[in-house]
Chain A
Amino acid sequence: MTLLEKINHVRDQFNTDLERISDLKSWEELKNTYLGRKGLVSKLFSRIGDVPPQDRKTIGQALNSLKNEIQNQVDSLHQTLQEKVDESHDVDYTLPGFPIFKGSRHPLTQAIDEMLSIFARLGFDIAYGPEVETDWYNFSSLNLPLNHPARDMQDTFYVDEGIMLRTHTSPVQTRYMTQHKPPVRIVAPGRVYRNEAISTRSYCMFHQIEGLYVDKNVTFADLRGTLELFCKMYFGPDARIKFRTSYFPFTEPSAEVDVSCFLCKGKGCRVCKNTGWLEILGCGMVDPNVFKAVGYDPEEVSGYAFGLGVDRSVMQKLDIPDIRMLFDNDVEFLKQF
């Protein structure tokens, strides 16, 4: 290609590129590409020495006219673009942006998920069980034989003779153990049901997370360690826990666990009713009768179990005064989370 042909090629290229310029930024690039110190036009000028002397004048004129042409077009384009920018200042940018819909997860599934992911870090897998249970799984296998007074602790909805809505997530323990050999390390989230009058504090349905660890040489100290870690991870690193002896037929020794109030840090406030403590879960060492029911040897293995009420703890954390608000599904309530 001769230099003259190259000049024409650059002109064509410039005209094509010019079409694409729509804002000041790309204009700047265009200007640099063609008119910059190392731009295409400069490059052409630098090659004028290669041209035979007799042609230099013609080529020089052609180059100059290309440079002027480009310069003029670039300048006039700049003016046009600048005008556009000025015009656009008339738009009122304080008008609101397009309303993207807000979606939200239910506070309960958020809390359940947060807890499950903490337990996942502590090596627990997730297990599930049916919401409609047999008497054997819901009661008998958990050391609650027929006519046991402790059955009164849980008012039960019956679907059929010996078939009920599970009153706790504990039947997942015995379901899982009948199907798996130790070691077992699971958490089981889910809905549970109690036939209790509905009020601000109690609903016929709520959510629990059950935990179970069975292995050789599991002690109450392991239980305490796991729950302390969980509480620090969930409530914050300064959370402390304390145990109170309690009674659940499927664990022994059994305990209720209180965690230092997340709001007042134990000083006492409205949320913790001035005690500085919040009741969060029940737990204990798995009762030997439960092991016998699922065919484990209580002399070989030991274990702990715990059950955590999610709804109560969410209500405390979010300061929700009435449990029914969790199940009304008013969008004004839900969209806050």
Chain B
Amino acid sequence: MKVDLNWLQDYVDIDRPLEEICNLLTEAGLECRIVESGPRVPEGVIVGEVISVENHPNADKLSVCFVNTGEKEPAQIVCGAPNVAAGQKVPVAMVGTSLTPDFTLKKAKIRGVTSNGMICAEDELGLSEDHSGIMVLDESCEIGKPLNNYLPKTVILDIDLTANRPDCMSHIGVAREVAALTGKSLKIPDITHQETGPDIHSLAQVVVLASDGCPRYTARVIRNVNIGPSPDWLKKRIEAIGLRPVNNVVDASNYVLHETGHPLHTFDYDKLAEHRIIVRYAEEGETFETLDHKERTLSRNVLLICDGKKPVAMAGVMGGLDSEISDNTVNVLIESAYFDPPTIRKGSKQQLLSTDSSKRFERGTDPNANCVYAQDRLASLILELAGGNCAKGMIDVYPKKIEPLPITMRFDRLKKITSLDISPETCRTIFESLDISVQSMDDQTINVLAPTFRPDLEREIDLIEEIVRIYGLNKIQANSRLQFSMSETVDPLNPFLNRIREIFVGFGFHEAISNSLVSQDMANAGIWGYAPVPLMNPLSIDMNYLRTDLIQPLLHNLKLNAARKRQHVRLFEIGRVMEKDPLSETTVREHQNLGVIMCSDMWDLHWLRSPAPADFFFGKGMLMRFLDNMGITDISLNNTDFHPDPYRIFMDITSGKIQIGKIGEYQPEFLNKYQLEYPVVILELKLDVIFELRKEVFKYKPVSPFPSMTRDISIVVDKNMESETLMKEIHQKGSKFLKDVVVYDQFMDDRKLTPGKKALSYRLWFQSDERTLEDQDVDRIMEKIFNILIRKYGAQLR
């Protein structure tokens, strides 16, 4: 909201630096910024004093002046103005100043005399059209200072108001705050207007059929006004706060609005059928054309101001075209009403129409003093500016008076919340400075009436806030020693997530954070097959669903990186994915997952090793290392039924019978489309499940002090034989001495092997906890392993 400093000073004396006022208001809750506007001249134009004026030797109309510009030597300047005289303070454009974009002042010889600058007229500085002579400045201007310092300025306080302070949406409201904060008194203009017309009740009638929506409606009529332009002072003020002057009646109405904060409406009295005002709710489907030329279809919760026949305004929101004040208006009806805040809010929401007026009414205006003051103030201003005569009296439909709310504040409560010792007398002073009337007080409590212009004051705590913000919020200092109850619980989830982050950072992955809002396609493509959750009011069609997995957002990130030709992309993200679940309190079930994507070599390009793309087996290795780290065992990977087409490999990961995630690799066709250089490996794990399954405390296992022995075996088996089956068999027959088995080679060459066969090589480690193993111990075990592999799986030794 814009407050004109000049205008503000009509209501409160300001004798402190503006900066200080601004800081006080900001600390008290009216976030304030100083904005200056007004004419400006180029920086090189400064104040000079004419020392002497002599006639130009070669030109009658020119004179040669010596001007003190604050330099050591006076400047010699040739001037053509008739009014130049010694002793004048004048604006001087120094050499080098650009007066217009294509005119920069240079040292010049004018008819043989050197001129070092220019004494300017107002038009030359762009300040006015005046070219009758040079501009003569006030005696008090300091020589050598920029002229800008002395040009008239409009100073605006740009205030960012919070929703709870509708009372400050006006100059008087802000002035009241300034007065309270600086110990001044508020000056409200007196109203004197003559009621020379007939009794208002003989001219107009007001019927309120919806008094819940419109608790108070007042009206005055002024007849025989002269619509015309507003005087300069009014135009200036209206313009200063960013409005455009229209005519004297409309401008006066805007002026009073921004002075008092109470929205008013002026009707062309003669356009009101039967000279009646009827306040009622709209019929369902009723239509009405508002000032913005929109034909609106209304529902029952829209409050209407009607004349004897038809709607003339959406109450408190916007007027209609027909009854607007025009240049031909002769008689004016002024409306000053109090509308119920929720009613106005509902109507404005329903019509998606928010206006300055509706914002004020829905936050709460004053039904009492200010409602009438604004009415009277406007009437007297119209009489002053547009003449006419005012009907006697005011129509006031106010069946049920809204009383100010009595509130009690306990001083010990004030101290309990704020820790401040504020004396009862200080509290009284603060309340009174805010026009909160103190009814009674003792050393325990103070009883006040909350004025009806402060709808935010309802409870004791609201009064406590008033005291603190005026007394000074920053006077509350921290105790030198803090005392508090420590939490007795320690969250295990965040350390768990951090451990996962560290593991994947160690694997060489970058942590991503992706938008949870995705397109419908992305939500439907989710690898879990969850029912997607749409948004009712999305920002755009690309973001109209909640993500159902982390792979789609990560793929989206991969595409961005591919488009920017990033070399290796390895990303992981920890975040929630959403599933529609009608049984949930929020209709949504949230799963905390880990998503991993990689499209990368196993190492950056290097002289020591040739490049090798990271593929499914890299992903699988990483997965196993991670699960091992989490202490999760009994893991198996199985092909899933769920096969979205672009996958080459797609597997369910289970621990025992519990699904913990999915791992896969994309088909090469997918790669072509995005011109990726490596396969795309994906992994998504359910962290909620892993959190439950994890084993953090491993029991110590004794370490054997005896040397281990290794044996290698190479066998040939059918191509479709799963190496994991053989591995399990080897483990089983390997006795307690077999500590580890690794597949170190796989070989499939139909030229060297029988077609349909493959060769596998295993390395086995044997070790005893009790003694050094002898060759024959291990030979005996190897024998058993060979036998079972040959008999059960048809293996041949190589």
Q: Which residues of A contact B (CB under 8 A)?
A: 95-96, 98-106, 108-109, 113, 116, 123-128, 130-134, 147, 149-150, 152-153, 157-160, 163, 165, 183, 185-186, 191, 193, 195, 197-198, 204-205, 213, 215, 217-222, 224-226, 228-229, 242-247, 252-255, 285, 287-288, 302, 326-332, 334-335
Contacts and interface: CB of A to CB of B under 8 A. Distances in A.
Size class of B's contact patch? 35 or more
B761 interface: no
Given A147-B346, A224-B477, A246-B162, A109 B513 contact: yes
Given A331-B566, A332-B564, 5 more contacts: A159-B534, A191-B575, A253-B418, A253-B464, A253-B469
Contacts of B363: 149
Contacts of A331: 510, 561, 566, 568-571
B589 to A, nearest CB: 9
Nearest to A219: B419
Interface in B531-576: 533-539, 543, 546, 557, 560-561, 564, 566, 568-571, 574-576
A159 B484 contact: no
Contacts of A165: 535, 546
B691 to A, nearest CB: 12
B482 A222 contact: yes
A149 B501 CA distance: 42
Contact of B486 (A104, A123, A198): A123
Nearest to A123: B486
Contacts of B537: 157-158, 195
A244 B569 contact: no
B511 A288 contact: no
B606 A99 contact: yes
A101 B27 contact: no
A99 B543 contact: no
B184 interface: no
A191 B577 CA distance: 12
Contacts of B419: 219-222
A288 B516 CA distance: 34
7 contacts: A103-B508, A149-B345, A157-B537, A220-B476, A228-B478, A253-B465, A328-B560
Contacts, number: 248
Contacts of A133: 586
Given A205-B517, A287-B461, A150 B487 contact: no
A124 B487 contact: yes
Contacts of B513: 106, 108-109, 326-327, 329
- Lowest 8 CB-CB distances: which A-B pairs, in order? A101-B508, A245-B29, A225-B478, A247-B162, A103-B505, A123-B486, A125-B487, A126-B491
Given A221-B478, A224-B476, A285-B417, A159 B491 contact: no
Interface string B582-606: 0001111010000000000001111
Contacts of A131: 516, 576, 578, 590
Contacts of A99: 603-606
B510 A158 contact: no
Contacts of B267: none
A226 B501 CA distance: 29
A71 B461 CA distance: 97
Interface string B745-779: 00000000000000000000000000000000000
Contacts of B132: none
Contact of B478 (A96, A125, A193, A224): A224
Given A105-B505, A131-B576, A159 B588 contact: yes
A252 B461 contact: yes
A335 B474 contact: no
A123 B473 contact: no
Contacts of A329: 510, 512-514, 557, 560-561, 571
Contacts of A193: 516-517
Given A100-B508, A228-B478, A332 B566 contact: yes
B535 A113 contact: no
A226 B29 contact: no
Interface in B683-718: none
Nearest to B566: A331
Between B473, B504, B506, the greatest number of chain A beta carbons within 10 A of the residue's beta carbon is seen for B473
Contact of A132 (B28, B31, B533, B560): B533
A336 to B, nearest CB: 10
B26 interface: yes
Nearest to A182: B485
Contacts of A244: 26-27, 29, 31, 473
A159 B536 contact: yes
A336 B411 CA distance: 55
Nearest to A128: B493
Given A96-B607, A204-B517, A225-B479, A132 B586 contact: yes
B794 interface: no
A159 B546 CA distance: 9
B713 to A, nearest CB: 29
A153 B162 CA distance: 9
A288 B536 contact: no
A330 B487 contact: no
Given A191-B516, A285-B417, A160 B566 contact: no
Contacts of A326: 513
A288 B459 contact: yes
A105 to B, nearest CB: 5
Contacts of A101: 507-508, 568, 570, 603-604
Contacts of A128: 493
A255 B416 contact: no
Contacts of A254: 465
Contacts of A191: 516, 575-576
B273 interface: no
A204 B543 contact: yes
A198 B609 CA distance: 45
Contact of B164 (A98, A126, A150, A332): A150
Given A159-B533, A244-B31, A327-B513, A134 B473 contact: no
Contact of A222 (B484, B570, B588): B484
Between A101, A213, A218, the greatest number of chain B beta carbons within 10 A of the residue's beta carbon is seen for A101
B444 interface: no
A125 B485 contact: no
A247 B561 contact: no
Contacts of B512: 106, 329, 334
Interface in B320-346: 341-342, 345-346
Given A109-B511, A222-B479, A288-B459, A217 B465 contact: no
Contact of A134 (B515, B564, B585): B585
Given A116-B494, A147-B345, A247 B165 contact: yes
Contacts of B418: 219-221, 253
Contacts of B493: 126, 128
Interface in B243-262: none
A158 B29 contact: no
B478 A159 contact: no
Contact of B487 (A123, A163, A217): A123
A109 B473 CA distance: 33
B362 interface: yes
Nearest to B561: A331
A198 B416 CA distance: 43
A161 to B, nearest CB: 8
Interface string B450-486: 0000000001011011001100011011110011111
Contacts of A247: 29, 162-165
Nearest to A120: B490
B352 interface: no
Contacts of B605: 99
Between A125, A165, A246, A329, the greatest number of chain B beta carbons within 10 A of the residue's beta carbon is seen for A329
Contacts of B546: 132, 159, 165
Contacts of B459: 288
Contacts of B482: 222, 225-226, 229
A335 B505 CA distance: 10
A125 B346 contact: no
B515 A204 contact: yes
